[in-house]
């Protein structure tokens, strides 16, 4: 069903995007699943890793492996240089003012928990309010619920319309002098909505309220500029942007990170330790206790180099065209309903089919080699809002092709046939 | 598509579309709720036990085709059976869908439940087929809730 790579290239989405050349960079894409060429459309869950990133991680393990920030010996210096080099790359990637504002964590979830423990537990108390949105991933709901329960604070939720767009007037109405933090997702993993976070940050700042942006689905797909957004905290995961699992970043404005409590205690985050008192290290080490995922974070640095080398704007344009094409193809199938029809969307196409459970859709697609996510996408409140138990979700990366969308559309038609 | 047609056999599709005993049993003396947080399958099994025997059984809820058909056919299979017979059938069903019972070669009382044998080729779907049975088991044993993942 999948055409050859040559014909894919010939039918290329745009002249400037050589998808065949790009696909050649990703070894995992070149395999069959259930006897069919793999069609990987689960990029919002985790994206694939290009050879250069794999090689960089391997080089560290083969030739540089040792602990960072500790050794005077040659290998430790090599490892430290590579690890801190990755931090510099992250700083430039998100246009932070300083690299010490980029804290390395295991992923976006750990990043939000770091802000909750370090900032929330210190500065949020009884009667205070935290605002989040109706389309948050559980990672940006549960930590704040835990904090509210502990502190007697209150969680407020910005509602959304039937297209999956936040109601900004309602948001304005929720902000008040009790608001101590706003947490909002940049791009919804379940709906694909791109939220106007720059505007939302400005609204919060009028009340002196800091904003945490969950950028897990945005950082891989669009330029994100910390100084332009003026956001206070921004978190994202490496494994959704072509790096290995275990890598991730919390960006925080230096003055906020400075006044936060540490997240975890241990080695590497201290200046001096006695049994009477410990003083903490400077940023970012204060927030990075213990030995981190060195190979993964170095891999994140390499993934950033890779993204820059292929051209982020062209990659984003190709993804936008894929999403447009997929939306057109799949919404034309009778019985299919797209969940999430915001004007501004990126990369994600969630859908349901009348009387067919997404799990059954997922199983049948898998038999044709197509990887999609079927379920609640760790966003159960979103499912409740749209009154569906779950959705099937195709999510795109710049290495996907229109032909893969065609395979998806044809197989969805087959699903409907089986159940008819 | 051969494994797929083993899984989504016509009988299973039919029970999915028109589930039998799909209602709330008002006079049930046992009931339990089953939930699979992974996929959101959610059902309630109602039982009317008379002495040791299942006098009536019904279910309601939402789920995938496999869980719905499994629940529907389960209600048909256990009606009139004793507690012990129901548990034995659950064991056989479970062994079959995890591939530990050859339903054709080994002796069993599965009858038309054998149609779920194809589930064994789809390990992530085993929980879908067994959720109704776990829930029935919970109802029989006066547990309120059961969760599989």
> Which of B93-128 are b and which e, b meaning 16 or more Cβ less than 10 Å from the residue's Cβ?
bbbbbeeebebeeeebebeebebbbbbbebeebbbb
Domains in chain A, number: 2
CB contact under 8 A, A357 and B8: no
> How high is the pLDDT of residue B36?
87
At residue A22, the 3 state secondary structure works out as helix
Position A230 in a domain: yes
Position A115 in a domain: yes
Q: What whole-number distance in Å separates Cα of residue B43 and Cα of residue A244?
A: 38
Q: Which of A49-58, B13-22, B36-45 has the lowest mean pLDDT?
A: B36-45
Chosen from A356, A362, A363, A381 to mutate, greatest number of chain B CBs within 10 A: A363
Angstrom CA distances, A242 to A62, A300, B81, stand at: 21, 8, 55
Same domain membership, residue A315 and residue A302? no
Query: Measured between CA atoms, how close is A393 to chain B, in angstroms?
Result: 13
Same domain membership, residue A328 and residue A253? no
Report chain B residues whose CB lies below 8 A from the CB of A357.
Answer: 62-65
Same domain membership, residue A363 and residue A229? no
Same domain membership, residue A393 and residue A257? no
Cβ of residue B126 closer than 8 Å to a chain A Cβ: no
Could you list the beta-strand ranges (E) of chain B.
30-36, 41-50, 53-62, 145-147
Chosen from B7, B8, B12, B39 to mutate, greatest number of chain A CBs within 10 A: B39
Which of A263, A287, A308 is where one domain is finished?
A308
Extract the residue ranges of chain A whose pLDDT is less than 70: 1-15
pTM of the model: 0.93
CB A338 within 8 A of CB A349: yes
CB A174 within 8 A of CB A156: yes
**DSSP class per residue in A272-311:** EE-SS-EEEPPTTGGG--S---HHHHHHHHHHHHHHHHH-
Angstrom CA distances, B116 to A117, A268, B19, B124, stand at: 48, 55, 15, 14
Look up the CATH number of the domain holding residue A323.
3.90.1150.10
Cβ neighbourhood burial of A61 (10 Å; 0-12, 13-18, 19+): exposed
> How high is the pLDDT of residue A70?
80
Same domain membership, residue A238 and residue A142? yes
Look up the CATH number of the domain holding residue B105.
3.90.1010.10
Catalytically annotated residue among A102, A148, A231, A378: A378
Same domain membership, residue A267 and residue A391? no
CB A336 within 8 A of CB A368: no
Cross-chain CB nearest to B40 (options A360, A390, A418): A390
Among A23, A107, A46, A83, residue whose Cα is nearest residue A241: A46
CB contact under 8 A, A419 and B65: yes
Question: How confident is the prediction for chain B on average, in pLDDT?
Answer: 93
Cβ of residue A410 closer than 8 Å to a chain B Cβ: no
Q: What whole-number distance in Å separates Cα of residue B34 and Cα of residue B61?
A: 9
Q: What whole-number distance in Å separates Cα of residue B35 and Cα of residue B63?
A: 10
Cβ neighbourhood burial of B137 (10 Å; 0-12, 13-18, 19+): buried
Cross-chain CB nearest to A367 (options B1, B13, B41): B1
Cross-chain CB nearest to B64 (options A357, A367, A383): A357
Cβ of residue B8 closer than 8 Å to a chain A Cβ: yes
Q: From edge to edge, which strands make up the β-sheet containing A179-185? A: A102-105, A248-252, A233-237, A211-214, A179-185, A129-133, A154-158
Cross-chain CB nearest to B65 (options A357, A375, A383): A357
Under the banding of pLDDT at 50, 70 and 90, the label for residue B4 is: confident
Cβ of residue A359 closer than 8 Å to a chain B Cβ: yes
Same domain membership, residue A350 and residue A302? no
Same domain membership, residue A332 and residue A263? no
Cross-chain CB nearest to B4 (options A359, A364, A376): A364
Domain that holds residue B77: 2-147
Q: Is A378 a catalytic residue?
A: yes
Cross-chain CB nearest to B40 (options A355, A356, A375): A375
Same domain membership, residue A356 and residue A248? no
Cβ of residue B122 closer than 8 Å to a chain A Cβ: yes
Query: Measured between CA atoms, how close is B51 to chain A, in angstroms?
Result: 37
> How high is the pLDDT of residue A2?
39
Cβ of residue A354 closer than 8 Å to a chain B Cβ: no
Angstrom CA distances, A213 to A179, A251, A385, stand at: 16, 10, 22
ipTM entry: 0.90
Domain that holds residue A337: 5-30+311-419
Cβ neighbourhood burial of A242 (10 Å; 0-12, 13-18, 19+): buried
Same domain membership, residue A186 and residue A66? yes
Report the chain A residue with the minimal C-alpha distance to residue B127.
A359
Which of A308, A327, A354 is where one domain is finished?
A308
> How high is the pLDDT of residue B146?
80
Report chain B residues whose CB lies below 8 A from the CB of A417.
Answer: none
Position A43 in a domain: no
Interface size, chain A vs chain B, as Cβ–Cβ contacts under 8 Å = 49
Position A44 in a domain: no
B 45-84 → A contacts, CB under 8 A: 62-66
Cβ of residue A374 closer than 8 Å to a chain B Cβ: yes
Cβ of residue A376 closer than 8 Å to a chain B Cβ: yes
> How high is the pLDDT of residue B25?
96
Query: For residue B50, how many other CB atoms are within 10 A of its CB?
Result: 9
- Nearest-5° Cα angle at A217, A287 to A249: 15
> How high is the pLDDT of residue A3?
40
Domains in chain B, number: 1
> How high is the pLDDT of residue B40?
78
CB A395 within 8 A of CB A41: yes
Cβ of residue B14 closer than 8 Å to a chain A Cβ: no
- Nearest-5° Cα angle at A250, A246 to A251: 145
Same domain membership, residue A324 and residue A300? no
Same domain membership, residue A355 and residue A254? no
Cβ of residue B7 closer than 8 Å to a chain A Cβ: yes
Which of A308, A343, A376 is where one domain is finished?
A308
pLDDT at B134 over 80: yes
């Amino acid at each position: 069903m999948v055409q050859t790579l040559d014909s894919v290239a010939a039918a290329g989405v745009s002249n400037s995007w050589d998808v065949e050349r790009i696909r050649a960079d990703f070894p995992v894409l070149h395999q069959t699943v259930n006897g069919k060429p793999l069609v990987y459309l689960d990029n919002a869950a985790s994206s694939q890793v290009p050879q250069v990133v794999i090689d960089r991680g391997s080089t560290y393990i083969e030739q540089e492996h040792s602990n960072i920030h500790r050794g005077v010996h040659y290998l430790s210096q090599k490892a430290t240089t590579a690890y801190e080099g990755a931090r510099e790359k992250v700083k430039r990637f998100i246009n932070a003012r300083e690299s010490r504002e980029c804290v390395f964590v295991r992923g976006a979830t750990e990043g939000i928990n770091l802000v909750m423990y370090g900032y929330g537990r210190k500065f949020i108390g009884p009667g205070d309010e935290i605002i989040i949105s109706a389309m948050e991933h559980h990672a940006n709901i549960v930590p704040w619920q835990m904090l509210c329960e502990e502190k007697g604070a209150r969680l407020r939720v910005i509602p959304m319309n039937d297209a999956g767009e936040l109601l900004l007037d309602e948001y304005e109405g929720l902000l008040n002098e009790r608001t101590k933090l706003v947490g909002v997702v940049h791009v919804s993993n379940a709906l694909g909505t791109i939220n106007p976070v720059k505007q939302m940050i400005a609204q919060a700042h009028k009340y002196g309220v800091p904003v945490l942006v969950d950028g897990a689905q945005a950082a891989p797909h669009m330029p994100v500029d910390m100084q332009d957004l003026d956001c206070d905290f921004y978190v994202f995961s490496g494994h959704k942007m072509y790096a290995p699992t275990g890598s991730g970043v919390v960006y925080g404005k230096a003055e906020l990170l400075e006044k936060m409590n540490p997240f975890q205690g241990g080695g590497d985050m201290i200046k001096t330790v006695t049994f009477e008192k410990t003083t903490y290290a400077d940023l970012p080490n204060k927030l990075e206790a213990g030995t981190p995922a060195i190979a993964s974070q170095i891999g994140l640095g390499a993934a950033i180099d890779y993204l820059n080398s292929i051209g982020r704007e062209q990659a984003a344009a190709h993804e936008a065209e894929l999403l447009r094409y997929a939306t057109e193809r799949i919404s034309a199938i009778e019985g299919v309903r797209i969940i999430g029809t915001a004007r501004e969307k990126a990369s994600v196409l969630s859908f349901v089919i009348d009387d067919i459970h997404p799990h059954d859709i997922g199983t049948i697609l898998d038999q044709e080699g197509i990887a999609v996510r079927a379920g609640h996408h760790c966003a159960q409140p979103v499912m409740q809002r749209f009154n569906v138990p779950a959705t099937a979700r195709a999510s795109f990366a710049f290495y996907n092709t229109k032909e893969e969308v065609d395979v998806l559309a044809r197989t969805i038609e087959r699903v409907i046939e089986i159940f008819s | 598509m051969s494994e797929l047609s083993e899984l989504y056999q016509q009988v299973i599709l039919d029970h999915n579309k028109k589930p039998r005993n799909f209602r709330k049993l008002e006079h049930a003396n046992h009931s339990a709720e089953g939930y699979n947080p992974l996929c959101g399958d959610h059902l309630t099994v109602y039982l009317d036990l008379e002495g040791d025997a299942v006098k009536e059984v019904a279910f309601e809820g939402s789920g995938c085709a496999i869980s719905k058909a499994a629940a529907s056919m389960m209600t048909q299979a256990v009606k009139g059976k004793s507690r012990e017979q129901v548990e034995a059938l659950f064991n056989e069903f479970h062994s079959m869908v995890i591939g530990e019972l050859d339903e054709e070669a080994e002796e069993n009382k599965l009858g038309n439940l054998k149609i779920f044998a194809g589930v064994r080729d789809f390990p992530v779907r085993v929980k879908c087929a067994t959720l109704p049975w776990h829930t029935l088991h919970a109802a029989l044993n006066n547990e309120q809730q059961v969760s599989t993942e």
